[in-house]
């Protein structure tokens, strides 16, 4: 993704800092599902690029390169970026075609983002301007010159010029299927007659959309956790290299391994030459995200044991911190459940649909939050509250049991082992505190 400042498609570092807080709000609300909707592809633009475009000239012999930019420091730069570069050897002009351009100032941007109806666009920028910006940001830059036939290069250059026109520039954004990288991939595959897809489809290293998203967002642990909670089972399908090319660095690897059959029968690499234009100063993402199952299990059991001990304590004062924690915990779970339900039933974020974390972040927890608020004020929760608490426990228990069922494939075991023990401890603690009189009477010896 590449942000657009209020006045420029490229923007600068300060403009991106100014939109950071607004972008952080977007990410917290809907970044986990920013990739879910009916994505478009380059093939959606069925009309061929016209030949009257000022660039490239009809008689030019353009040279096309794939530009891959490494991760940046801001959260929406963590996944990297790429662009197609078209050089006109006759004029020396070099244009970088960037997909994934967005603008926080766009009308109803936040609303459309939350509903999964994002409209992003392609922009044609002067290559040197882009290179200067990425170097200033300390991001790596790798260029792969593509060994395309003259007709292929010219057709691709004309398509990009046509696509960058204002009337054609916008497209329906989907983080996994129609982002800055997949649009570049599709445009290149279109020029190659499907050869890139044929060589990358069906081969996989066992990654999923979730795994890629979490490892790339590892430097932002809070956002990574929100993304993990918001993604449903769609994100846990095993993807091949064609699908995984939504990551710019993966597309670079796919292009590096691809080969072309020349008219004379030779098979040559698609990437004729590779050059590193800038070394990155930003730490590269890990190959795998951290495995949270064991630490979350220990945390869940530890918190659950402490809550159970507080709930069984004879002193009324010991229940005050229990009630305060439980009220906040149930409130967050309930609100989180409402958010997940909204993403499923009220938006077009299909990667958030059927989210099994609804069994853990249960909207019924809002009832329990009110019950614990009453307990904090000295009121005894009623039978209905205790029944709801055990219903929440049953849902969490089913979430654990569902891991052995073939229809429930979501990778959320870490959240189950964290939240299920807490739900169980709170259900056990939602009984009236032991009465002091009863405790004293139990200690009186029989006469």
Confirm whether 99 is domain-assigned: yes
Q: What is the pLDDT of residue 112?
A: 77
Confirm whether 284 is domain-assigned: no
Tokens of 225: 């956790």
Q: Write the pLDDT tens digit of every residue in 252-301.
A: 999 999 999 988 889 999 999 999 999 999 888 999 999 999 999 999 99
Confirm whether 351 is domain-assigned: yes
Number of domains in the chain: 2
Element (H, E) at 325: helix 319-345
Q: What is the pLDDT of residue 311?
A: 87
Q: What are phi and psi of 241, to 5 degrees?
A: -65, -30
Other beta carbons within 10 angstroms of residue 324's beta carbon come to: 14
Which residue range forms the structural domain that includes residue 414?
A: 293-435
State which of 255, 278, 301 marks the end of a domain.
Answer: 278
* Same domain assignment for residues 255 and 298: no
State which of 278, 301, 326 marks the end of a domain.
Answer: 278
- For tokens 């920013």, what's the residue? 34
* Same domain assignment for residues 350 and 229: no
Tokens of 432: 């009236």
Q: What is the pLDDT of residue 434?
A: 52
- Per cent of the chain over pLDDT 90 is 66
Q: Write the pLDDT tens digit of every residue in 367-393.
A: 999 999 998 888 888 899 999 999 999
Residues 268, 261: Cα–Cα separation, whole Å: 7
* Same domain assignment for residues 57 and 188: yes
Task: Identify the bridge partners of residue 81 per DSSP, sorted by sequence position.
Answer: 69
* Same domain assignment for residues 262 and 310: no
Task: Please say if the pLDDT value at position 196 is more than 50.
Answer: yes
Average pLDDT over residues 125-147: 95
Task: Please say if the pLDDT value at position 20 is more than 50.
Answer: no
* Same domain assignment for residues 226 and 350: no
Average pLDDT over residues 156-160: 95
Confirm whether 285 is domain-assigned: no
Distances (CA, A) of 338 to 74, 253, 346, 412: 29, 40, 11, 18
* Same domain assignment for residues 127 and 46: yes
Confirm whether 184 is domain-assigned: yes
**Is the bond preceding residue 360 a cis peptide, omega within 30 degrees?**
no
* Same domain assignment for residues 16 and 145: yes
Confirm whether 83 is domain-assigned: yes
Confirm whether 286 is domain-assigned: no
Q: Write the pLDDT tens digit of every residue in 207-247.
A: 999 999 999 999 999 999 999 999 999 999 999 999 999 99
* Same domain assignment for residues 249 and 366: no
State which of 243, 278, 313 marks the end of a domain.
Answer: 278
Residue whose C-alpha is closest to residue 414's, from 238, 295, 286, 305:
295
CB 422 within 8 A of CB 328: no
What is the band of 58 on the pLDDT scale with cuts at 50, 70, 90?
low
* Same domain assignment for residues 150 and 29: yes
Average pLDDT over residues 164-168: 93
* Same domain assignment for residues 163 and 22: yes
Confirm whether 304 is domain-assigned: yes
How are beta strands 94-102 and 2-3 bridged, if at all? parallel
What is the band of 109 on the pLDDT scale with cuts at 50, 70, 90?
confident
* Same domain assignment for residues 86 and 143: yes
Task: Please say if the pLDDT value at position 28 is more than 90.
Answer: no
Q: What is the pLDDT of residue 107?
A: 72
Q: What is the pLDDT of residue 439?
A: 44
Task: Please say if the pLDDT value at position 33 is more than 50.
Answer: no
* Same domain assignment for residues 227 and 321: no
Q: Write the pLDDT tens digit of every residue in 120-135.
A: 899 999 999 999 999 9
CB 377 within 8 A of CB 436: no
Residues 112, 33: Cα–Cα separation, whole Å: 12
């Amino acid at each position: 993704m590449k942000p657009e400042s209020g006045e420029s498609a490229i923007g600068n570092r300060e403009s991106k800092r100014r939109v950071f807080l607004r972008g952080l709000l977007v990410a917290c609300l809907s970044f986990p599902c920013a990739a879910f909707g009916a994505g478009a592809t380059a093939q959606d633009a069925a009309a061929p690029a016209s030949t009257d475009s000022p660039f490239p000239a009809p008689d030019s012999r353009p040279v096309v390169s794939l530009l891959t930019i490494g991760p940046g420091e801001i959260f929406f730069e963590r996944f990297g970026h790429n662009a197609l570069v078209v050089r006109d050897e006759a004029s020396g002009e070099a244009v970088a075609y960037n997909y994934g351009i967005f603008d926080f100032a766009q009308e109803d941007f936040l609303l459309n983002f939350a509903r999964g109806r994002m409209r992003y666009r392609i922009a044609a920028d002067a290559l040197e301007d882009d290179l200067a910006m990425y170097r200033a940001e300390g991001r790596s830059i790798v260029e792969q010159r593509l060994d395309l036939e003259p007709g292929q290069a010219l057709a691709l250059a004309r398509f990009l010029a046509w696509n960058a026109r204002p009337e054609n520039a916008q497209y329906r954004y989907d983080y996994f299927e129609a982002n800055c990288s997949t649009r570049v991939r599709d445009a290149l595959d279109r020029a190659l007659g499907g050869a890139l897809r044929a060589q990358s489809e069906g081969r996989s290293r066992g990654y999923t959309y979730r795994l890629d998203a979490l490892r790339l967002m590892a430097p932002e642990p809070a956002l990574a956790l929100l993304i993990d909670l918001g993604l449903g089972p769609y994100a846990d399908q095993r993807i091949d290299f064609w699908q995984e090319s939504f990551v710019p660095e993966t597309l670079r690897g796919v292009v590096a391994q691809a080969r072309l059959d020349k008219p004379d029968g030779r098979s040559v690499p698609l990437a004729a030459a590779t050059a590193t234009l800038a070394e990155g100063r930003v730490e590269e993402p890990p190959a795998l995200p951290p495995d949270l199952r064991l630490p979350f299990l220990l945390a869940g059991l530890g918190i659950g044991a402490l809550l159970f001990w507080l709930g069984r304590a004879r002193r009324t004062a010991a229940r005050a911190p229990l009630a305060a924690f439980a009220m906040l915990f149930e409130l967050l779970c309930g609100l989180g459940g409402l958010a997940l339900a909204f993403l499923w039933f009220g938006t077009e974020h299909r990667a958030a649909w059927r989210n099994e974390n609804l069994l853990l972040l249960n909207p019924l927890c809002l009832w329990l939050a009110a019950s614990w608020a009453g307990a904090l004020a000295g009121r005894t929760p009623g039978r209905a509250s205790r029944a709801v608490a055990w219903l929440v426990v049953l849902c969490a228990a089913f979430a654990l049991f569902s891991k052995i069922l073939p229809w429930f494939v979501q990778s959320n075991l870490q959240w189950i082992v964290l939240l299920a023990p807490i739900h169980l401890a709170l259900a056990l603690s939602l009984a009236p505190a032991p009465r002091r009189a009863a405790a004293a009477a139990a200690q009186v010896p029989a006469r």
